[in-house]
Amino acid sequence: MKRLITSGLMFGNLIHVDSPALVERYNRALKHLTGKQTGLTDFYIDISGYSPEVGDELDDPLYLNHAGVNRQFILLTTAQKTAPLLDAKFSTSRGILRQFIEENEPALFALTARDAVAGELVNSVFDMSDPKRLFDIRRIVIEADTTNGRIRRAAELDQKVSRFLNEEDAWFDDVLIAEMIGLAGETGDIVRNPVSLKKMEFEQRDFWTAHFGGLYLFQDLELPGVIASAGKEGLGDLPIEYVFGLEERNRIANFLDLNGLVEPIVKARGIDASAVLRQKMDFMMVDALADAGVDLAGRSRTDMRRLARTHASQLPEEFHALAALLNWAESGGKWPTIASDSPAYFYTLRASGHKDADLVNMLLAELAPKDFRQLFICHKELFYRRYAGWSDTKKAYVVEYLLNEYQVDKVGARKALFGRDAPMEEEIKPEPDMDQLIELVGPWGPVRR
């Protein structure tokens, strides 16, 4: 993992906590939330305030996320909004934290100038021993305050000011006036400088969780279902209509198609489908040849074509299936039938335009693991686990590619793969009679049950 860390592809964009004042504030918040403190004077934190160094020191990687639910957070600066979320247990957590920071940025900026803000992503579940408990998670509420309770005291002061202004004879209530003066000394002038955070709630119906080996929950669909990365054995009788193991590729393909969650890359607007297919084929080639002693560093497009010709017999079935699809898209070759039981099937898809597109692209990344770029973008935890088992040749190629091709323009790369804002300059369309066939039988032919 050292190569990933030094290149900034792992633990990148964390916030450095290295001043005595920030460390002291962090410790106040940490003790407020957990009763623990750190003796470190220099460490890094993610968007939630979690620090790998502090977790190692405390021998508790879940010190801000006990049992993997109701994640707590410590905010020292609004700059944390751009940091990653390490060891995420739910796919929605980082987005919730970022939206909370962005919606309250002026107030948080003022509050964190003097103290840390500590809080929690609260739901009604405190124990994950039973998979059924996941279905009790419906709404996430954010609770937050400074370690000295400034927001709570400001609310108390606001109530007392309201009493003072509206209740008869309140002007003569010496106790009320004394309480107001005392609170104002702690909160400042809340009339000119209001101290409050927006009350924010988030619905959580469709999400991925790391619990139980990894589960994708799609509850807010016409045909709801669960997809289990580690298989559905041991999950028990879940309160949802469909449950699939990741190995049930035909059934998953049918589920995604019937719910309108995916579209074929060659029909997607806003991308250069041919370029995407070529890149996926390169990634498959790297996976196949990395252990064959082939030097992959710095290979040009011409070099990659030459390698494909030389080692054609060593390349996997999905490479040749995508080659046939590329030939159809570019040269009008024969339309390839890529059925759902083909290992190439999920490489040919991306999420369609709906609210859970990120979750679907995350699932597709797991179903098409040789596309290391999509795996890195959509499912970093799985990328890191699989990277650890790759050969040194593949690791070197992957790091070089991500640094030189992806990191230099992450926004552009994501838009090129998943975006729908810009129409394609030359939209690729199937032959006239093919559109009707696709509508009838799915993107690449009948989904076999």
- Tens-digit pLDDT string for the chain (449 aa): 888 988 888 888 899 999 999 999 999 999 999 999 999 999 999 999 999 999 999 999 999 999 888 899 999 999 999 999 999 999 999 999 999 999 999 888 888 888 899 999 998 777 888 999 999 888 899 999 888 777 766 666 666 667 767 777 777 777 766 766 776 666 655 444 456 788 889 988 999 999 999 999 999 999 999 999 999 998 999 999 899 999 999 999 999 999 999 999 988 877 888 889 999 998 998 888 887 767 676 666 677 777 777 777 788 899 999 999 998 888 777 888 899 999 999 999 999 988 999 999 999 999 999 999 999 999 999 999 999 999 888 998 899 999 988 888 888 888 888 875 433 333 323 333 444 444 444 555 444 44
| pLDDT tens track for 288-343 | 888 776 767 666 667 777 777 777 778 889 999 999 999 888 877 788 889 999 99
User: What is residue 133's three-state secondary structure?
Assistant: helix
Q: For 334, how many CA atoms within 13 A lie in the half-sphere containing its CB?
A: 4
Strands 225-228 and 242-245, bridge-based pairing = parallel
Distances (CA, A) of 110 to 19, 47, 182, 188, 292: 19, 18, 21, 12, 58
Q: Where are the domains of the chain?
A: 10-148+198-204, 151-187, 207-247, 260-441
Residue 170 and residue 206 in contact, taking contact as beta carbons nearer than 8 Å = no
Residues in the chain, overall count: 449
3-state helix, strand, coil in the chain (%, to 5): 50, 10, 40
Phi-psi region for residue 11, left (φ > 0), alpha (ψ -120 to 50) or beta? left
